[in-house]
A and B are shown apart, each in its own frame.
Chain A
């Protein structure tokens, strides 16, 4: 309870004269389910890119379980338990789902540099990968090549790859992007079923899903935090109504 899982301090980033992140201060406690919402172009994905180290902030710092990780490379942040998924699929088109998740498991175990033993010698990693895929109800699709998987399955594989890193904090960038509405609820069911010790921060446009699955909501507007609160507080907040809900809320 003492140190929060993730803290950003005065995080700022500009591209040229455009300030995409302005003095963002967020504190996410352990085991929380946070939603990050905001109109298009509010800088939600940029914020995730900053947290995971894909882009470097101009100012400010990021703390993971109290440790300042601002100077670490993206892969080192993953090794410390901060993992993300992508809004637009970033998969391995010609690997099977099982191969891809096995690769992520091997990277976590730091055995991916082993070149003198064959893969079958790493049965435990393969089994773990299989178990992760099955926990997401992958069924018989585990050995199919990624690019031949149906789109919904590819979205699940995004999450499976992240889970294989054994994250402490999971940043989900629109996990249901492009998925039909009935399936997206199912996908969020899978996210809700994640172990409660995994802290989750997700971006989502569908307000029904946000209000159903988030314990707290952060509203981002023009790169700055407008307000943060419980779903009830957010839905009652007049400022949020004005800039976001007032303009007709988006589905999907």
Chain B
């Protein structure tokens, strides 16, 4: 038997596909621009960074493993309330450890729900994720003593970051913190999707029936990514709680689950940057139009959603990638998913 091509080039081809690209550096440098260009809007910038992280966490389960979740806010809210309760009830406001504890709690919640969620597909899956989401919302709503119920959790105090920087009114520290957490989690997510584990997730998305037939423990793969995604969502929630020093019931709402889904779909699933770009566009547009009644905002979002699923099945990035001149966008897919047009 002869081997047609020297295998070294094969490995190199795999390596080439996962290389860090110049355009990525440019994008991340752009994330620093608000410090100079919009110093009065840093609070908004940090909200965007938090939402982008939330969108990445959803992309890991939806875009890579193919789990449709209608209740991802459950883990965002779990993280936010954990960080908030740590400060209000236990008097612990140290942000870094609070972030990690919130991630841990959300991760435990994610693992426990994954035992149920990962056994289902289709309508039952949508119902279960939705059900877990509304159930947590209801628990937070009725546990007034712990969460403040519908009034929200007031009086969170975030200590100085690393003992040096305290939150300022302009949001310099808040945005720096949110951006650092986002970038760190992004690097982890990027590594995951380029790893053997990431390949296995794509295998599940592409053909869940075949996976057991090649000896793959699909269930355990799914539980694992669901847990990881929950940790990241929880961290996003914790950053929101710590930087705004308040938690409202809204962090657990169905609206938030739907919003992040919309952003991810608008940006394009299965490419990490899609969710981030979707978050930027969505949040900027909403902020810009916030003078209008929020109801009208949802009119346009609804219309956009209908248009995207009818006309652009791969989201904005996916649509742009089909324009030849914008070839570089295709490279941003990080292990292309090559979905049929």
Which residues on A are within 8 Å of B, measured CB to CB?
Answer: 52, 73-75, 78-79, 83-84, 86, 90-95, 98-100, 102-104, 106-108, 111-120, 122-123, 125-127, 130-131, 134-135, 139-140, 142-143, 145, 147, 161-162, 164-165
Contacts and interface: CB of A to CB of B under 8 A. Distances in A.
Contacts of A106: 196, 199-200
Nearest to B204: A92
A147 B228 CA distance: 30
B218 interface: yes
Contacts of A123: 7, 11
Interface string B200-227: 1011001101111111111011001000
15 contacts: A73-B212, A74-B213, A75-B212, A83-B215, A95-B199, A95-B202, A99-B199, A103-B214, A106-B200, A119-B198, A126-B11, A126-B14, A131-B1, A134-B3, A165-B215
Contacts of A100: 203
B6 to A, nearest CB: 10
A113 B197 contact: yes
A84 B220 contact: no
Nearest to A131: B3
A103 B213 contact: no
Interface stretch (B42-50, B232-240, B332-340): B332-340
Contacts of B224: 113, 115
A113 B223 CA distance: 11
Chain B contact-residue range equals 35 or more
Given A75-B212, A91-B210, A113 B220 contact: yes
B203 A103 contact: yes
Contacts of B13: 143
Interface of B: 1-5, 7, 10-15, 18, 191-192, 194-200, 202-203, 206-207, 209-218, 220-221, 224, 228, 337-340
| Interface of B: prevailing SS | helix
B195 A130 contact: no
B340 A147 contact: yes
Given A90-B210, A112-B196, A118 B191 contact: yes
Contact of B7 (A78, A93, A126): A126
B199 A52 contact: no
Contacts of A112: 196-197, 199-200, 216, 221
B10 A119 contact: no
Given A94-B206, A115-B191, A103 B200 contact: yes
Contacts of B217: 75
Contacts of B198: 115, 119
**Of B1, B10, B13, B15, most A-chain CB atoms within 10 Å:** B10
Given A90-B207, A161-B210, A164-B214, 13 more contacts: A75-B218, A83-B214, A93-B207, A98-B10, A104-B214, A106-B199, A113-B197, A118-B14, A120-B18, A125-B196, A127-B7, A130-B7, A142-B10
A74 B210 CA distance: 10
Contacts, number: 153
Contact of A86 (B5, B12, B213, B337): B213
A230 B14 CA distance: 48
Contacts of B194: 118-119
Contacts of A140: 4-5
B195 A114 contact: yes
A117 B195 contact: yes
A47 to B, nearest CB: 16
Nearest to A147: B340
Contacts of B206: 92-95
B338 A94 contact: yes
A198 to B, nearest CB: 16
B10 A130 contact: yes
Given A94-B337, A112-B197, A147-B340, A120 B15 contact: yes
Given A84-B213, A114-B195, A114-B197, A119 B207 contact: no
B165 to A, nearest CB: 30
B197 A90 contact: no
Contacts of A90: 207, 209-210, 213
Nearest to B206: A92
A120 B215 contact: no
Q: Among the interface residues B1, B195, B211, B337, which one has the most CB atoms of the partner chain A within 10 A?
A: B195
A119 B199 contact: yes
B299 to A, nearest CB: 35
Nearest to A138: B4
- Which 4 A-B residue pairings sit nearest by Cβ, starting from the closest? A78-B215, A115-B197, A92-B206, A74-B212
A120 B10 CA distance: 9
Contacts of A95: 199, 202-203, 206
